[in-house]
């Protein structure tokens, strides 16, 4: 029996049992055998095993009253919050690590619980800039350790009530003090995890609307001047987003990750991994949703036949199965290429400018297509399950809801298209 908690059971025992996490993992694993190496499959299986045991041991039902933030320390202890880096400076020495490892870890965890993946994933947005700019300063390394080991969630604060897509022209200000500290004043919004976070990476400008004067700060949310209210996003009721008002929030100089003038560069540096991370999350949603629909339609009978056998169902599923598989190959290829570059140049930030520029366009292409595919796949997979796809008996309602978020976060669909069209101008200019 699936241990999902729901009000009223709408799906038969037999089908619910087949939709178990173990079976869904098994289906995806088999699909990836022609794409992943033996080592990659082994790591994917390792994280699956952890999630299966965790679900069983803690009797996790994925029901509405569970607090996903309570699980973060256990996943951190197991080394499953962030696998992008090795974290040698924290003596963690993760193997495997890199974007490919992050993809495999996310695929396993997202199938376990998609809302948990979003909350845990947003911490990585704070991890990346601290990892890139800690300069071995103990205060920064302590924060990094908290985040990576799951002792505290993290968040990034870019978006403001009046500056969303136009993030470069910020209104939040930073004023340098005689002792080298800064005072932050302004308002941020829609920051995933902010009400639960201990550490925040915050962007502000010395002069309003002037991106050249942007700086990047690491903030402890217990400091005076950090005021946070929860913004409710009904599609992800278990994830906490914040609206923060900074009132003379003092940031000591040890916590300045990027001085005035460096903030914009640091902000753009973080956008490639963030967009790829969203593309990965969306792809994982595609796998989760089609796996549910494929298992369901192979068992559900109408007109005395399994509904998969009707072309209207079967052919639609094959279309999305092919697109999901092909997108997987694209993300795997990008991840390996990126990991090779990081290995060759020592770190993400050392990758030469011309190669980085290509990756900016690639990251937008992948984010654009993966989020668009997730929105279609999750809706249609739910649709192919009829009422069963819309009720609360499975994770399908999470997939349908969450797939509507991907196109907005990390830069909207239109902004990705704008970035890609700028790249087309650049490419034309070299002719």
184 binds ligand FAD (CB under 6 A): no
Which residues 6+ apart lie within 8 Å of 368 measured at CB? 413, 416, 417, 420
State the first-to-last Cα distance of the chain, in angstroms, to the nearest integer. 62
Alpha helices (runs of H) in 311-351, residue ranges in sequence order: 311-345
In the complex, least distance from residue 418 CB atom to ligand FAD, rounded to whole angstroms: 5
164 binds ligand FAD (CB under 6 A): yes
Q: How many residues are recorded in the chain?
A: 431
Q: Mark 57-76 with x for binding to ligand FAD (rule: CB under 6 A) and - for no binding.
A: --------------------
Long-range contacts of 269-273 (CB under 8 A, 24+ apart): 269/129, 269/132, 269/348, 269/349, 270/125, 270/128, 270/129, 270/156, 271/360, 271/363, 271/410, 271/411, 272/348, 272/356, 272/359, 272/360, 272/363, 273/84, 273/99, 273/124, 273/128, 273/348
Closest alpha carbon to 122 in 138, 106, 101, 100? 106
Q: Which is nearer to ligand FAD, 23 or 185 (CB)?
A: 185
Q: Which is nearer to ligand FAD, 156 or 317 (CB)?
A: 156
Q: Mark 381-410 with x for binding to ligand FAD (rule: CB under 6 A) and - for no binding.
A: ------------------------x--xxx
In the complex, least distance from residue 413 CB atom to ligand FAD, rounded to whole angstroms: 6
Work out the number of other CB atoms within 10 angstroms of the CB of residue 118: 23
191 binds ligand FAD (CB under 6 A): yes
In the complex, least distance from residue 55 CB atom to ligand FAD, rounded to whole angstroms: 25
Measure the CA–CA gap between 183 and 169, rounded to whole angstroms.
19
Pairing type for strands 199-205 and 256-258 reads unpaired
Which residue from 84, 156, 215, 286 is in contact with ligand FAD, where contact means CB under 6 A?
A: 156
User: What tokens were used for 369?
Assistant: 């297509």
Choose the binding region for ligand FAD from 29-37, 155-163, 262-270, 342-350 (rule: CB under 6 A). 155-163
Q: Which is nearer to ligand FAD, 161 or 180 (CB)?
A: 161
Which residues 6+ apart lie within 8 Å of 363 measured at CB? 271, 272, 275, 276, 279
Which residue from 26, 165, 177, 305 is in contact with ligand FAD, where contact means CB under 6 A?
A: 165
- Name the β-bridge partners of 200: 155, 219
Which residue from 414, 421, 422, 427 is in contact with ligand FAD, where contact means CB under 6 A?
A: 414
User: What single string gives the DSSP state of each residue in 125-176?
Assistant: HHHHHHHHH-TT-HHHHHHHHHHHTTSS-EEEE--BTTBSS-TTS---EEEE
Residues that bind ligand FAD (rule: CB under 6 A) add up to a total of 22
User: What tokens were used for 58?
Assistant: 């803690």
3-state secondary structure of 121: helix
Which residue from 159, 205, 297, 328 is in contact with ligand FAD, where contact means CB under 6 A?
A: 159
Which residue from 90, 233, 360, 420 is in contact with ligand FAD, where contact means CB under 6 A?
A: 233
Residues numbered 104 to 143 that lie near ligand FAD (CB under 6 A) are: 122
C-beta separation of 293 from 308 below 8 A? no
DSSP 281: H
Residues numbered 272 to 331 that lie near ligand FAD (CB under 6 A) are: none
CA distances from 55 to 50, 62, 323, 337, 398 (A): 9, 9, 30, 34, 17
258 membership: H or E segment, kind and range = strand 256-258
Which residue from 157, 201, 249, 267 is in contact with ligand FAD, where contact means CB under 6 A?
A: 157
Q: Which is nearer to ligand FAD, 107 or 241 (CB)?
A: 241
In the complex, least distance from residue 239 CB atom to ligand FAD, rounded to whole angstroms: 7
In the complex, least distance from residue 217 CB atom to ligand FAD, rounded to whole angstroms: 14
421 binds ligand FAD (CB under 6 A): no
Q: Which is nearer to ligand FAD, 191 or 220 (CB)?
A: 191
Q: Which is nearer to ligand FAD, 79 or 195 (CB)?
A: 195
In the complex, least distance from residue 182 CB atom to ligand FAD, rounded to whole angstroms: 19
190 binds ligand FAD (CB under 6 A): yes
Q: Kindly report the CA angle at 21 between 16 and 27, in degrees rounded to 5?
A: 95
In the complex, least distance from residue 337 CB atom to ligand FAD, rounded to whole angstroms: 26
200 binds ligand FAD (CB under 6 A): no
Choose the binding region for ligand FAD from 44-52, 98-106, 150-158, 205-213 (rule: CB under 6 A). 150-158
Binding site for ligand FAD (CB under 6 A): 122, 155-159, 164-165, 190-192, 233, 241, 405, 408-412, 414-415, 418
């Amino acid at each position: 029996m699936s241990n999902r908690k729901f009000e009223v059971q709408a799906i038969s025992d037999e089908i619910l049992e087949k939709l178990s996490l173990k079976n869904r993992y098994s289906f995806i694993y088999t699909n990836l055998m022609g794409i992943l190496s033996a080592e990659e499959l082994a790591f994917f299986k390792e994280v699956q095993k952890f999630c299966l045991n965790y679900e069983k041991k803690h009797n996790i039902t994925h029901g509405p009253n569970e607090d996903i933030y309570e699980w973060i320390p256990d996943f951190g202890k197991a080394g499953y919050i962030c696998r992008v880096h090795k974290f040698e400076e924290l003596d963690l020495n993760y193997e495997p690590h890199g974007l490919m490892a992050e993809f495999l870890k996310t695929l396993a965890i997202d199938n376990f619980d998609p809302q948990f993946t979003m909350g845990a994933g947003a911490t990585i947005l704070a991890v990346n800039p601290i990892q890139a700019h800690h300069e071995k300063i103990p205060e920064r390394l302590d924060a990094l350790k908290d985040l990576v080991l799951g002792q505290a969630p993290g968040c990034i604060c870019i978006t403001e009530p009046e500056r969303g897509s136009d993030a470069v022209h910020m209104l939040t200000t930073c004023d340098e003090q005689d002792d080298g500290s800064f005072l932050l004043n302004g308002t941020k919004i829609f920051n995933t995890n902010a009400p639960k976070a201990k550490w925040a990476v915050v962007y502000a400008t010395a002069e309003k609307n002037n991106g050249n004067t942007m700086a990047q700060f690491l903030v402890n949310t217990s400091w005076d001047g950090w005021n946070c209210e929860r913004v409710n996003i009904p599609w992800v009721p278990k994830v906490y987003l914040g609206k923060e008002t900074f009132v003379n929030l003092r940031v000591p100089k040890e916590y300045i990750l990027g001085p005035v003038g460096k903030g914009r560069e640091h902000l753009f540096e973080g956008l490639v991994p963030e967009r790829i991370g969203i593309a990965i999350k969306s792809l994982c949603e595609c796998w989760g949703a089609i796996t549910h629909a494929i298992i369901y339609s192979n068992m559900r009978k109408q007109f005395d036949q399994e509904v998969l056998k009707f072309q209207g169902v079967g052919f639609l599923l094959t279309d999305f199965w092919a697109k999901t598989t092909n997108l997987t190959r694209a993300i795997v290829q990008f991840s390996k290429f990126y990991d090779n570059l990081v290995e060759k140049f020592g770190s993400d930030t050392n990758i030469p400018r011309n190669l980085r520029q290509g990756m900016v366009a690639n990251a937008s292409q992948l984010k654009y297509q993966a989020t668009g595919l997730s929105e279609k796949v999750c809706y249609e997979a739910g649709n192919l399950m009829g009422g069963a796809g819309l009720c609360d008996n499975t994770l399908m309602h999470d997939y349908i809801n969450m797939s509507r978020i991907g196109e907005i976060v990390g830069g909207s669909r239109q902004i990705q298209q704008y970035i890609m069209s700028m790249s087309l101008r650049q490419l034309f200019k070299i002719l």
